[in-house]
Chains A and B, each alone.
Chain A
Amino acid sequence: MSEPITEGTTTVPDIDLPGDAFDALLAAVSTVSGDEPSEGPAIDFEGLRVESRGETTVVEVDGERFEAGSERELHEVAADNAAFVTNWHFFERVAGEGTPRRAFVRWLEAAEERSVGERYAALATGVVREWGQLRVTATVTDRGERRYDVRHLEDAGVPIDELDRHEDPRDARDIVTFDPDGRYRPLKTAPSLRGGWVFSALDHREMYEVVETVYPATVANWHREREGRLDVDHWRETMGRQSGIYGVVQTWDRGEGHEHVNWVAEACCADSQCLKRREWEYDDETDLDVDGGDGVFPCREPCSLVVSAARKWTRLEGETERTYEFELTPSEKEQLEALIDAVADGRTEEIREADLRDPANRYRARFLRAKRLDADGNLCGVPTDDE
């Protein structure tokens, strides 16, 4: 989903100006006032402009001009325009500069596309973004503070009381470790995140830690990509730097094309297996022939699972093909194909026990084994190697 969703109606909420935002504004004004003529406005950020001129502070909000001769008057102006002041305070004093974290919280509320008024109106009811299987909802409190709710996409409409509520971002570690069937998840970006939980009312750093725990380094890579400086390491470079037990993968590229890498990407990197969008190719001149996926965050090099798998395939693919002869009925041939599909698509668990129409049904597979595999497990009694 590329567009943020705004929930409910949109009216700009009343914001009570919090003391820390006003103190920060005072501090910003005082650092540029004094005897020296100021070299520009103390604040110039997204429709809010504050400039100190001697005893008077000039405040412009969306082009409307106010003059404040005292701290009390300045407070009045700031309180009347609390959305703009708290917006400045959040991004310029709380979120800080230059980090992927800042870029992410701005993206969450579409800060580059929407005015402060539009944003606050939208945040009053909630702005929703999807990040992998996460659903992040940004809101603003009546004191202008950002709050975030993070949950699984599939729990979008579930009342908060029906979910396990968490406050400590580190709780996310347990959530990401096992899939819904209790199996260990070696790949954080696999689409196997379990649901049933919610982190609610987080501040932006806590929200960021949850996202970083669920999908490590994805924000950093997304940020680099948006800035046009994502450092992609293609297959050849990545395999070329492997050493130790992985050094063998270098022998898999024999200058005979990249078909094997297409197979790897199709096997491991499809959206059904990993939510990252594959940006790496065979090398910087040779693209792979398979789709990289539609994920919001990029994959910049073959991951450690792909490297490990490539090591195994390097050994297996080193074998020479040979011809075997098997006697099978047409349905048995198709059944073998269906079994491969069922395992490859992770579908075996959902095939009903009595659904004998499904070729990958357990009884069907057991019948085939009873009929076609000998005591040593050889298909049709044909030995793998010559006796």
Chain B
Amino acid sequence: MQSLVILAHGSHLNPDSSAPTYAHADTIRASEAFDEVRTGFWKEEPHLREVLRTVEGDEIYVVPLFISEGYFTEEVIPRELRLAGWDVAEWDSDGISADQATLVAEDIGREVHYCGPVGTHRAMSDVIVRRAESVTDDPDVGEGFGLAVVGHGTERNENSAKAIEYHADRIRERGRFDEVRTLYMDEEPEVDDLPEHFESEDVVLVPLFIADGYHTQEDIPEDVGLCEDYRDGYDVPTAVDGTRIWYAGAVGTEPLMADVILERAADAGADLNDALATVRETTRVATGD
């Protein structure tokens, strides 16, 4: 019996925090790739500490719905799940290349496949592009458009910027967008100065966050100048200093994120049959045909 466990941060204050986690879990349930799909949280319930005891399967894939490899994926989650013998070297990662580690979770006395976070998987580049398609409602968006990939910055974790640069490089190499730049909230180049970093008239701004919350709903819209006060709302697109900014909100809310979760599990050995193709198809942006 094959089980998937999706782990996320959650929130004591914001009901939207867990919404993408549940949405992606539902998408994956519908694909029938797993006998069961469970969700666990750091700040909600079931807590990371107790989620594994709600799992009935014996082939268990644990996928963290986090953007970067760092404090949560390398320290908090392995500790709370009680992964015996965990060492970050198990992932043999340069900060963006974690794969998986098979370890006994002492909570349940059974092996689990602990996967790297969704944010550093190569398929995440496709989600960023899909997010741009969603917010522009154009499955072919690219020509005449710039793409700004925005992250928190390195203040808390140097791998956070690595993940953002990694995906921006990959998307740039495809040549789909006229220009692709990385911007940050708390370091240079800053998202506040977005128009200065782009020549394109239209720029899609995709924040690399898992859920919408304080940063994506309040900080970024105000910092970029989409609005004076986030409570007033803003249009998509909104022109700021001559640049039309298409603000996408947290990339983690994009339905295709379910695909990255599946890719992580597949890389760790999960048998998914045609679930990957199914999920890619069911989460597509309509072409209007």
Contacts and interface: CB of A to CB of B under 8 A. Distances in A.
A244 interface: yes
A382 interface: no
B53 A244 contact: no
Give the residue among A170, A186, A188 with the most B Cβ atoms within 10 A: A186
Contacts of A170: 22, 26
A308 B12 contact: yes
A231 to B, nearest CB: 8
Interface string A262-295: 0000000000000000000000000000000000
B112 to A, nearest CB: 16
B56 A304 contact: no
Interface stretch (B44-52, B91-99, B136-144, B277-285): B44-52
A357 interface: no
A212 B42 CA distance: 17
Contacts of B154: none
Interface in A57-84: none
A305 interface: yes
A8 interface: no
Contact of A304 (B12, B26, B75): B12
Contacts of B49: 301
A300 B47 CA distance: 12
A231 B50 CA distance: 11
Contacts of A212: 54
Using C-beta atoms within 8 Å of the partner chain, give the interface range for chain B: 20 to 34
Given A177-B15, A244-B76, A186 B44 contact: yes
B45 A188 contact: yes
A220 interface: yes
A86 interface: no
Nearest to B22: A173
A184 B54 contact: no
Contacts of B215: none
Contact of B47 (A101, A184, A186, A303): A303
B89 interface: no
Contact of B46 (A99, A217, A224): A217
Interface in A168-195: 170, 173, 177-178, 184, 186-189
Contacts of A300: 50
CB-based closest 9 A-B pairs? A216-B46, A217-B50, A186-B12, A217-B46, A220-B53, A216-B45, A184-B15, A188-B45, A177-B15
Given A170-B22, A308-B43, 18 more contacts: A99-B56, A170-B26, A177-B15, A178-B15, A186-B11, A186-B44, A187-B45, A188-B44, A189-B45, A212-B54, A217-B47, A220-B53, A224-B53, A231-B107, A243-B76, A244-B75, A303-B45, A304-B43
7 contacts: A184-B15, A217-B45, A221-B50, A244-B71, A303-B45, A304-B42, A304-B44
